[in-house]
């Protein structure tokens, strides 16, 4: 299908708006993203609610932590409970009792993570369901159909993600397929109230990344996502690739979303290179394993030294966990394998992450971004852990 055909079938105006301004910190931007379900100040991190829930947390917990927007997953929700059922029940916002913006992934990550259960061809992907083994077909058109039924504010084009260490011809083949699917996703969209983002691929190959940028820049997506940098490769490769992408995008005004990044030092690396949005399961996943992020560095609440500690996880944190409970109590909950441990630790890590992004936005406004970057990344670089 030609780009002209795609353009003729697009809504006449974008359902979102993004206004940004440059700052004194490299390519870093401060922005305001307006969606049908509210405004998002950027840079911002999106917690992942794969199956219409951020694990162990209620929407009230998320709002108390300062979450502005979250992510849910097309593939998983199409299998259970089914996108048709969610549509009948009023859409994803009503279904999960979340009245703020939602972005839905297309299922492209499952093309990578469930490689042992799928086959890929130029038309789409065939999965053997991880639930019951049934045959599931995901095409660009089907990915858009599912996301339109869910009713998210932002939908993602279907892409093919491969390992950075895959053979070069495999990376290039996946890139071309991603570009072809992007055009088909644009042609398939029908909802005027749902934005659609395209996804850049190309591994850490500068030539392929530039080709991907030039291809997507020419297509009328509402935003640009950067995929493929959270599945392998080094931090230096990620930074170098983001530099390439930022240079190739130039003054393109659309919102930029780096997929799958959630470690605090990585926020600074990406923001300095013009990234506006992030998502990752990391804050809640490590929380459920007892790793907590604090203003003084990381700590493992499972360590025995915390069993007699009456103070909070982080005196500088205002979350429910730090306000009402001691390290000793949380350490006890983990050792007793009580479910409350997961909720309290997740509340803390999500609050820490959202607070850090608030601090970053303030630092971009007042010119202290560099000092904040050194303070935060230093805690991880030096591995300053209170219980090491």
Model pLDDT for residues 237-253, shown as the tens digit of each residue: 999 999 999 999 999 99
- The overall average pLDDT reported for the chain is 94
Share of the chain above pLDDT 70, in %: 95
For residue 385, the model assigns a pLDDT of 47
**Mean local confidence (pLDDT), 105-127:** 94
Residue scoring higher pLDDT (1 or 129): 129
For residue 386, the model assigns a pLDDT of 47
214 has pLDDT over 90 = yes
Q: Which residues of 9-28 are buried (b: 16+ CB within 10 A; e: fewer)?
A: ebbeebbbebebeebebbbb
Q: Catalytic residues, which ones?
A: 105, 279
54 has pLDDT over 80 = yes
For residue 232, the model assigns a pLDDT of 83
Q: What is the tens place of the pLDDT at every residue in 2-48? A: 554 444 344 458 999 999 999 999 999 999 999 999 999 999 999 99
For residue 9, the model assigns a pLDDT of 42
Residue 99 contacts residue 35 (beta carbons within 8 Å): no
68 has pLDDT over 60 = yes
**Mean local confidence (pLDDT), 55-67:** 98
pLDDT bin (cut points 50, 70, 90) of residue 383 is: low
For residue 233, the model assigns a pLDDT of 87
CB atoms within 10 A of CB 321: 24
- Of residues 255, 362, 380, the one with CA closest to residue 25: 362
For residue 142, the model assigns a pLDDT of 98
Residue 50 contacts residue 226 (beta carbons within 8 Å): no
Phi, psi of 91 (to 5 degrees): 95, 170
For residue 388, the model assigns a pLDDT of 42
**What are the structural domains of the chain?**
3-280 (3.20.20.105), 287-380 (no CATH)
pLDDT bin (cut points 50, 70, 90) of residue 213 is: very high
384 has pLDDT over 90 = no
For residue 380, the model assigns a pLDDT of 83
Distance in angstroms (rounded) separating the CA atoms of residues 246 and 27: 8
98 has pLDDT over 80 = yes
Question: Taking phi first (over 0 means left), then psi (-120 to 50 degrees means alpha), and beta for anything else, what does residue 75 get?
Answer: alpha
Distance in angstroms (rounded) separating the CA atoms of residues 92 and 326: 36
For residue 12, the model assigns a pLDDT of 55
Q: What is the tens place of the pLDDT at every residue in 343-382? A: 999 999 999 999 999 999 999 999 999 999 999 999 987 6
321 has pLDDT over 60 = yes
């Amino acid at each position: 299908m030609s780009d002209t055909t795609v353009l003729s079938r697009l809504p006449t105006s974008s359902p979102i708006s993004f206004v940004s301004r440059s700052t004194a910190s490299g390519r870093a931007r401060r922005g305001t993203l307006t969606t049908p379900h509210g405004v998002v100040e950027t840079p911002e991190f999106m917690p992942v609610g794969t199956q219409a829930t951020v694990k162990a947390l209620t929407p009230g917990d998320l709002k108390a932590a300062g979450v502005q927007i979250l992510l849910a997953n097309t593939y998983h929700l199409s299998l259970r409970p089914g996108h048709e059922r969610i549509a009948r029940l009023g859409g994803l916002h009503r279904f999960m009792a979340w009245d703020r913006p939602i972005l839905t992934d297309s299922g492209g990550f499952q093309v990578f993570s469930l490689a042992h259960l799928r086959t890929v061809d130029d038309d789409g992907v065939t999965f053997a369901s991880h639930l019951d083994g049934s045959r599931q077909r995901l095409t660009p058109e089907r990915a858009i159909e599912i996301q339109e039924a869910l009713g998210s504010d932002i939908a993602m084009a279907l892409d093919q993600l491969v390992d950075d260490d895959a053979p070069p011809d495999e990376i290039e083949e996946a890139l071309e397929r991603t570009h072809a699917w992007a055009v088909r996703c644009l042609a398939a969209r029908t909802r005027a109230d749902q934005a659609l983002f395209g996804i850049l691929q190309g591994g850490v190959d500068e030539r392929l990344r530039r080709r991907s940028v030039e291809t997507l820049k020419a297509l009328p997506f509402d935003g640009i996502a950067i995929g493929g940098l959270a599945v392998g490769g080094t931090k230096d490769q990620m930074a170098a690739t983001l530099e390439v992408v930022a240079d190739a995008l130039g003054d393109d005004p659309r919102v930029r979303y780096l997929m799958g990044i959630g470690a605090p030092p990585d926020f600074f690396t990406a923001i300095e290179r013009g990234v506006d949005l992030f998502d990752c399961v990391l804050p809640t996943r490590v929380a459920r394993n007892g790793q907590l992020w604090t203003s003084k560095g990381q700590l493992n609440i499972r360590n025995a030294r915390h069993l007699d500690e009456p103070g909070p996880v982080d005196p500088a944190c205002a979350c429910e966990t730090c306000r009402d409970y001691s390290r000793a109590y949380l350490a006890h909950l983990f050792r007793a394998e009580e479910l409350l441990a997961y909720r309290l630790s997740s509340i803390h890590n999500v609050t820490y992450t959202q607070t850090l992004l608030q601090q970053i936005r303030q630092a971009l406004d007042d010119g202290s971004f560099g000092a904040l970057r050194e303070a935060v990344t230093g805690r991880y670089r030096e591995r300053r852990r209170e219980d090491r």
